[in-house]
Amino acid sequence: MTQAHEAPAQGAAPESLLAAAGLACFRGDRLLFQDLDLSVAAGQSLQIRGPNGCGKTTLLRILCGLTTPENGTIRWRGRALGPRDPDYLRDLRYIGHNDGVKLVLSPRENLRMAMALESGADEAALTRALARLGLSGFMDVACRTLSAGQRRRVALARLTLGDARLWLLDEPFTALDSAATKAVHMLIEEHLDGGGCAVLTSHQPVRIDAAKSTSLDLGA
């Protein structure tokens, strides 16, 4: 398997970071997808497309290990992943449907928690991360008083903390205004240029340089 995987690396194609083969998933007794293969190379983004309910979120959850697939294997840098691989988790940043933001805490307190859980960034990086998403004036107010879009930005600010190479983004642009959407696009582009990779779902148009993006269509 490893040989088969490394073979394409001989050509011009860049190193494949994340690869999945033969994924299958049921929700209840409904088959969402089967024999699904995907591969994302360093510096590439993969957009998962499809109508509502076709399993985009489930696929992302499978990729980060929250949901166990019926079948199939996931490889990270050529190594098959077991359950809860700490090295993989350290390399991964997942922004789910829910923001994971505590409403009675301030954005700063929320990020401090996220930082302790997933990366070792310092306080200065935290301030910078919030500033990049336009939350400079709101760092110390309770998230309860922020709008849905601002809460989404608090969640997205986690992306710039630490140096995770794989971003899994579930509808990152939901509730964001055009300035914030642009800021997040820039974050993703920078991440890809730095050798990272990203898998995302979005119903909004995604404007990432075509050379850096591929897509995958899930049938309904």
Report the nearest approach of other proteins to the CB of residue 7 (Å). Answer: 31
- Spell out where the chain has E strands: 16-27, 30-41, 45-49, 71-76, 79-80, 92-95, 166-170, 197-201, 213-217
Report the nearest approach of other proteins to the CB of residue 135 (Å). Answer: 18
Q: Is residue 92 at the binding interface for other proteins, with CB under 8 A as the rule?
A: yes
Q: Restricting to residues 158-217, which ones interact with other proteins according to CB under 8 A?
A: none
153 neighbors 180 (Cβ within 8 angstroms): yes
Q: Restricting to residues 96-135, which ones interact with other proteins according to CB under 8 A?
A: 96-105, 109, 112-114, 116-118, 120
Cα distance between residue 124 and residue 110, in whole Å: 15
Looking at beta carbons only, is 112 or 185 nearer to other proteins? Answer: 112
Cα distance between residue 134 and residue 4, in whole Å: 45
Looking at beta carbons only, is 52 or 98 nearer to other proteins? Answer: 98
Q: Is residue 38 at the binding interface for other proteins, with CB under 8 A as the rule?
A: no
Report the nearest approach of other proteins to the CB of residue 89 (Å). Answer: 4
Report the nearest approach of other proteins to the CB of residue 130 (Å). Answer: 17
Q: Restricting to residues 48-67, which ones interact with other proteins according to CB under 8 A?
A: 64-67
Closest CA to 34 of 46, 20, 44, 50: 20
Please name the residues in contact with 114: beta carbons below 8 A apart, sequence gap of 6 or more.
100, 158, 161
Residues linked to residue 80 through DSSP beta bridges, in sequence order? 75
Looking at beta carbons only, is 112 or 212 nearer to other proteins? Answer: 112
Structure tokens at 108: 């700063």
Residues contributing to the site for other proteins (CB under 8 A): 64-68, 84, 86-87, 89-90, 92, 94, 96-105, 109, 112-114, 116-118, 120
